[in-house]
Amino acid sequence: MGISGGQGSVSSPPLVGVAHKIEVDPVELDFILVFLSSSRVRKLTIKNQGVTTVALAVSTSGPYSIESSSPFTLTPGQSQDIKIRFAPVSSGVFSSTIRLDAGASSIEVPVVGKAMTKEEYLLQLSQIYNQRRQECYAYPDIRSTTFNGDCGIGVLHAAISNRDEFLLVGFNEITPNDLTSFEAMAANYVNVPEAVIERLIEITELFAEFDNLDPNLVASWWQRLRDALAVGRFDEEYSALLQDTQFAQYHHLLGQLLETTDTNQIRAFLQGFVTSELSSQQRGFWWHYVENHLLPELVRRGLLTQEEVNQLKDKLREAANKIGGPDGFLLMDSVALVLFSFVNAHFNNQLGVPLPSYSGFVSTLNFVLDQIKSSSGDTRRAWFDKIVVAAEGALNGWLIMNIMVNRGSSTDPNGQFIDIVAWRNVTVRETVQTIRVVAFLKVDSRTWTIQMIPTPDKFVPIFNAFIGTLQAIANHIALSGDAYKLYGPGFYIIGVIFTKSQDGAVMNLLADNVARKLSSSYPVFLSYKDKATGRRTVIIICPAGGCPKGTLDAAAEAACGFGIPLSAMGPITYTCDNGIEVDIIWKKKP
């Protein structure tokens, strides 16, 4: 060190400092609303992004409490989930902090939660809802939702249960007694053991983490293990792969999926997957998990019979073999993802929506598999696409409520035209509200040409059938009585997912005809890959009263979730939650 003025110098022992780099997600914690006499748990993920090992202690103050072990140590790159419980004993808004101490240093994470009695909440909710409806009549220019020009359809973001939030829609006026019935409908969801809910959330997050892995890298690991198994060196090769940090992370994710930290169990699971019989187009990775873990659990709980499971496995194997190649594996994994998403939808059914039984849903899957097995060419591909598109949505967080809905009856013969019904919470960026979006989707596997769309002097049956299908979906929603009883309150949107590239001019002409001829009170969107630009494009068709707030986000997220992932840049774009961009085109019914 130089002395002031540069006169001489002095030596000292080496100067040593330790700097920790801690990342916290989320940066603030919001428990939203919790009813008195209940509680809610949120997760805080703490990751050591530095190069030193750090000892951390976590603390907070009531009505918040830490449910995870503290203190704990994180090595470089290691992360730890901390569970915080909000258990209020009085009404009010409670702001506090979660404190992370690392020696003399600390990080504070803001935490807030609101508590009410159910009676207080229902009274407040009804007052707000009815006030908004009155404002709609007083200020027509700011109407957020209309139905034939009427303000009778009110919309309100609400947290009926103590676990989740959704949208109330479709009532001229609401009383606290009306809302009490909603609370009762939510009881089944509220009474689901908290551990089950948390486990489902964890598995959903795992799907996303597995999906982020490089598929070529994963395939190379499987091949190395297959080769090693063939010469009796599986254990040695597995131990060698564990030295690779990326494979070690993969191993860790498998352990979370299987709910074990036992290396032998994880290794046995992968060994079962890469055995020689599994390389002959019999099953994919997710199907291997569903076949060996999820389906036996559903049988154990009495939700499916062993005979039903065996029938599904046989039909899936036959259909996958008919398709062959990588698409055979894709079909098996897609069925697995769709089935898991349906199970997840049952556990997240906070509204008591009358979802199909497990037996009924598996029967529907068997019907689709029979069509794949017995058809050929474009027809087989069309049936195949329905399952693959549904699986894509499941991977992107949509909960599959039904596939190939068939409510054909004397009172409602039109439900059979819906391919997929799914829901997901979507954030409306304009208002920063979270709405429950229910998407009614048709999967179209044709390449459309100008000849398929009629001009004033031309009649083309295939186009009119397309319009008829969309009209049938709209009629099904409108004629099914209280739609919220079938599908739950939310933002309803009808969509068509085109699985093949389309000519943009043809799609615009198709959309113009849909806008003129379709009678629907719900927004409709067409999602396709533009041949010229290579981009996924979404055309949104607004009903007569215009599109309500949230239409853009609902249509774009559904297009991203169920469409072919593509990314590019364009003048009118929407970046979805999964990072995919889509072009948006608006059309309004003349």
Considering the domain boundaries, does residue 105 fall inside one?
yes
Whether 34 maps to a domain, the answer reads yes
Same domain? 509 vs 547: yes
**Same domain? 436 vs 564:** yes
Distance CA 387, CA 134 (A): 44
513 and 570 co-located in one domain: yes
In a domain, 106, yes or no: yes
Query: Is 97 inside a domain boundary?
Result: yes
Do the Cβ atoms of 570 and 535 come closer than 8 Å? Answer: yes
Provide the 10 A C-beta neighbour count for residue 37: 11
Please indicate, yes or no, whether residues 271 and 212 belong to a single structural domain of this protein: yes
Give domain status of residue 376, yes or no. Answer: no
Lateral strand order in the sheet of 536-542: 399-403, 420-428, 433-444, 491-498, 524-529, 536-542, 581-588, 573-575
H helical segments located in 231-300 = 234-241, 245-258, 263-273, 285-289, 295-300
| Judgement on whether residues 69 and 106 belong to the same structural domain of the protein | yes
Examine the domain organization and report whether 470 and 560 are in the same domain. Answer: yes
- How far apart, in whole angstroms, are the C-alpha atoms of residue 242 and residue 503? 48
- Average model confidence (pLDDT) across the chain: 77
- The pLDDT tens digits of the residues spanning 511-561 come to 988 988 888 888 999 999 888 888 888 999 988 767 877 888 888 888 888
Please tell me the predicted confidence (pLDDT) of residue 556.
87
Cis preceding linkage at 590, omega within 30? no
C-alpha 344/C-alpha 488 separation (Å) is 16
Domain-ending residue, one of 246, 280, 314: 280
> Residue 379, CB half-sphere, CA atoms under 13 Å: how many?
9
Residue 429 lies in a domain: yes
Count of domains forming the chain: 4
Same domain, yes or no, for 550 and 420? yes
Task: Write out the E strands in 139-282.
Answer: 155-158, 166-169
Task: Specify whether 203 is located in the same domain as 69.
Answer: no
Residue 33's φ and ψ, nearest 5 degrees, are -135, 135
Residue range 134-170, pLDDT digits in tens: 666 565 554 444 433 444 444 444 444 444 444 444 4
Beta strands 433-444 and 420-428: pairing type? antiparallel
Question: Does residue 111 form part of some domain?
Answer: yes
- Rounded to an integer, the average pLDDT of 393-413 is 69
Q: Is 557 exposed, middle or buried (0-12, 13-18, 19+ CB in 10 A)?
A: buried
pLDDT at residue number 288: 76
Over the Cα atoms of the chain, what is R_g? 27
Residues 96 and 45 in one domain: yes
- Which range, 120-124, 197-201, 409-413, is most confident? 120-124
Residue after which a domain boundary falls, among 163, 190, 217: 190
Token digits of residue 500: 């093949």
- pLDDT for residue 57: 92
Q: Which of 190, 207, 235 is the last residue of a domain?
A: 190
Q: Which one, of 486, 335, 345, 368, lies nearest residue 423 by Cα?
A: 345
164 shares its domain with 204: no
Q: How far apart are CA 312 and CA 305, in angstroms?
A: 11
% of residues, the chain, pLDDT over 90: 15
Q: How confident is the model at residue 315 (pLDDT cuts 50, 70, 90)?
A: very high
Ranking 80-84, 387-391, 471-475, 560-564 by mean pLDDT, the lowest is 560-564
| Mean pLDDT, range 377-386, rounded to an integer | 88
Q: With 0-12 CB in 10 A as exposed, 13-18 as middle and 19+ as buried, what is 163?
A: buried
Q: Which residues pair with 166 in a beta bridge?
A: 158
Q: Which domain holds residue 56?
A: 22-115
Q: Are residues 141 and 270 in the same domain?
A: no
| Shared-domain flag, residues 457 and 503 | yes
Q: How far is CA 138 from the centre of its chain?
A: 38
Q: Rounded CA gap, 122 and 168, in Å?
A: 13
Cα distance between residue 388 and residue 386, in whole Å: 6
Bridge-based pairing of strands 155-158 and 72-74 is unpaired
Please check whether residue 310 lies inside any domain of the structure: no
